[in-house]
């Protein structure tokens, strides 16, 4: 089977983390997000993967190459302007001559693609869409179904009074290639808003696959942090922790004997953890980071090549690549883009989002 992964968007909800880093390469447990997705596809014998690219395409291609290190064959489809989910898939049509899977590029899920495609074939469907349940469907695409899971209606981001079910589009669907004939080339078209409702109007066989497995839309920094908490607690098959207090330490990482680490914690390679540092999980520290003495870091994600000075305090924070936090600086529930500098004794307000390259001085 083949899969198209839609990774061309700007991921504005994840900013400032995605100002210079495509969402496909945002690290999850120190591994690019898209690597987790592709390995999951490979487990279900989906070995040909087309990446529909737009914004920040080159870093993705440079990182993943031909896909051989992930056990798949990667192909790249580029769009000069945003084409929408259907338009981007149409743009990759030359690769799609058989039943194929389309995936939204910010979904982290335990979907059983083998069972899903088997259902698709048994029902002789034109499209089979994965559904998952959420507490509040108003931020998603609500999907109504009838007997045997046949889809009857789509409603994007319904108002509270319009909600009739908590089942939503899980961002994955199997499609027959002749559906592409209904999509104009080089035109911005949405599967969810345009193509799917048209197929229902035409009476085409359109079915749903209900999944009760783990599902997370990694669309905001808050959900990005929650994804890590969920993975550390064993909620997803993508990661199986050895224990709830697990501490994993990368090669050539030096940890001072007085440092106290309370798992679950993942520390990358070539890191330095100083005297009397406290690391309180769940948390991740990327490669090449330095945490100086007396710093306290809790429930946070630190990317690569970050330097945390003496007595830095962070809780519920995400810190992107190459940041420098000077002595005594602190933050809670804050997000720092790459190359941010915090001056000594700088205290971030809760909820702060600091743009890349910014230098923050303490308030006087």
Catalytic residues: 157
**Is the sign of the CA dihedral 182, 101, 103, 158 positive or negative?**
positive
For residue 212, give every residue at least 6 positions away whose Cβ sits within 8 Å of its Cβ, in sequence order, or none.
132, 133
Q: Where do we find the tokens 């920094």?
A: 221
Give the separation between CA 321 and CA 305, rounded to whole angstroms. 6
Contact 310, 293 (CB under 8 A): yes
Cis peptide before 293 (omega within 30 of 0): no
The tokens describing 140, both together, are 């998603």
Cis peptide before 282 (omega within 30 of 0): yes
Give the separation between CA 343 and CA 248, rounded to whole angstroms. 31
For residue 184, give every residue at least 6 positions away whose Cβ sits within 8 Å of its Cβ, in sequence order, or none.
87, 90
What are the angstrom distances between the C-alpha of 106 and each of 11, 57, 176, 216, 321? Answer: 9, 15, 23, 8, 20
**Is the sign of the CA dihedral 77, 29, 273, 353 positive or negative?**
positive
């Amino acid at each position: 089977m083949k899969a198209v992964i839609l990774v061309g968007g700007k991921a504005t909800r994840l900013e400032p983390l995605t100002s210079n880093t495509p969402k496909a390469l945002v690290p999850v447990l120190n591994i690019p997000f898209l690597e987790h997705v592709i390995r999951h596809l490979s487990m279900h014998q989906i070995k040909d993967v087309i990446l529909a690219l737009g914004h920040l395409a080159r870093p993705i291609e440079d990182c993943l190459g031909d896909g051989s290190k992930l056990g798949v064959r990667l192909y790249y489809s580029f769009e000069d302007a945003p084409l929408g989910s259907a338009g981007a898939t149409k743009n990759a049509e030359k690769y799609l001559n058989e039943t194929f899977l389309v995936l939204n590029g910010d979904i982290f899920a335990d979907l059983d693609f083998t069972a899903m495609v088997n259902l698709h074939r048994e029902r002789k469907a034109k499209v089979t869409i994965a559904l998952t349940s959420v507490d509040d469907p108003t931020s998603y695409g609500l999907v109504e179904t009838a007997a045997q899971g046949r889809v009857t209606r789509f409603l994007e981001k319904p108002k509270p009074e319009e909600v009739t079910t908590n089942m939503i589009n899980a961002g994955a669907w199997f499609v027959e290639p002749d559906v592409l004939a209904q999509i104009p080339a080089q035109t911005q078209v949405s599967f969810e808003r345009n193509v799917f409702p048209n197929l229902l109007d035409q009476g085409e066989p359109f079915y749903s696959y209900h999944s009760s497995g783990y599902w997370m839309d990694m669309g905001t920094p808050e959900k990005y942090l929650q994804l890590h908490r969920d993975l550390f607690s064993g909620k997803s098959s993508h990661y199986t922790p050895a224990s709830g207090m697990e501490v994993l330490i990368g090669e050539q990482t030096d940890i001072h004997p007085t440092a106290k680490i309370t798992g679950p914690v993942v520390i990358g390679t070539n890191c330095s953890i100083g005297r009397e540092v406290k690391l309180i999980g769940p948390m991740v520290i990327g490669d090449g980071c330095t945490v100086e003495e007396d710093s306290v870091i809790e429930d946070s994600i630190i990317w690569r090549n970050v330097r945390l000075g003496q007595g830095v305090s962070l809780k519920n924070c995400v810190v992107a690549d190459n940041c420098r936090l000077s002595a005594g600086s602190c933050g809670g529930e804050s997000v720092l883009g790459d190359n941010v500098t915090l001056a000594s004794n700088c205290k971030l307000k809760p909820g702060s989002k600091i743009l890349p390259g910014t230098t923050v001085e303490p308030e006087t």
